[in-house]
Copies of this chain bind each other. A is one copy, B any other.
Amino acid sequence: MFLESKSTEGFVDLAAVKALTFDVFGTVVDYRSSIVAEGRRLSAAHGLDVNWGELADAWRAECRPSMDRAMRDASSWVNVDAIYRAVLDELLKRYGIAGLSEHEKVQFNLVWHHLRPWGDSVPGLERLRARYILATLSNGNVRLLVDMARHARLPWDLVLSSEMARAYKPDPRAYRMALDLLDLRAEEVMMVAAHQYDLRAAQHLGFRTAFVMRPLEHGPHAVPDLTADDSFDVVATDIVDLARQLDL
């Protein structure tokens, strides 16, 4: 039967899965091309010559230290809206981008609220929703995820964010918060992500895992690591393929 999948322990029964929790940035939406498109509009308006793809990669990558700092103690929490803005200000300096008004900076930072979904995301989610509770489990803050879902018509049943646990993935508190609020055991939840570290953290707590390949996450010239760990329960080329493999 299709609802069995090879894992390191042999065949895993996926029939118990009741909810899918999704990583969002990179897995469901294409942040890089969304940022490049927005950057090009700024280039046109201000006569800027910027490698927006490179800036997008840096914007994403350089947030991690701030996320780790945000978890130091109860009073140090900041959400990703604030982190993105701080990193943006740094990048504008580094790239010599001058002349943007405060309003334009605020708007540019909001690009993360309006990222484009990959072409397979909405049709794939719609199919999966017929059987599974669909939830985000993202480091994006709640308002960002809500704005994005409204804009891109992502059919989430539930928005779950690291913000609710005050702990950024891959901190186990984020995944445990999801199990707690879904009122499910780990083996009843499948984490879906394009990033192996995210899946491994979920797997460590007993989640089922689905690896979705996103070869273009880091742009057309990147050579991403798409080798799927043999221990992932499902390896899918995209979210429609995931639905197909789950017989939906």
Contact = CB atoms under 8 A, between A and B. Distances in A.
A183 B141 contact: yes
B81 A142 contact: no
Nearest to A147: B133
A149 B155 CA distance: 12
A226 interface: no
A45 to B, nearest CB: 27
Contacts of A174: none
Interface residues of A, number: 19
B163 A181 contact: yes
Nearest to A141: B183
Contacts of A90: none
Interface in A92-138: 133
Contacts of A16: none
Interface in A46-103: 79, 81
B133 A150 contact: yes
A83 to B, nearest CB: 14
Contact of A182 (B133, B142, B150, B181): B142
Contacts of A133: 146, 150
A164 interface: yes
A52 to B, nearest CB: 26
A143 B183 contact: yes
Nearest to A159: B158
Interface string A162-192: 0110000000000000000111100000000
Name the residue in A79, A150, A164, A181 with the highest tally of chain B Cβ atoms < 10 Å from its Cβ. Answer: A181
A224 to B, nearest CB: 32
Contacts of A149: 157
Nearest to A163: B181
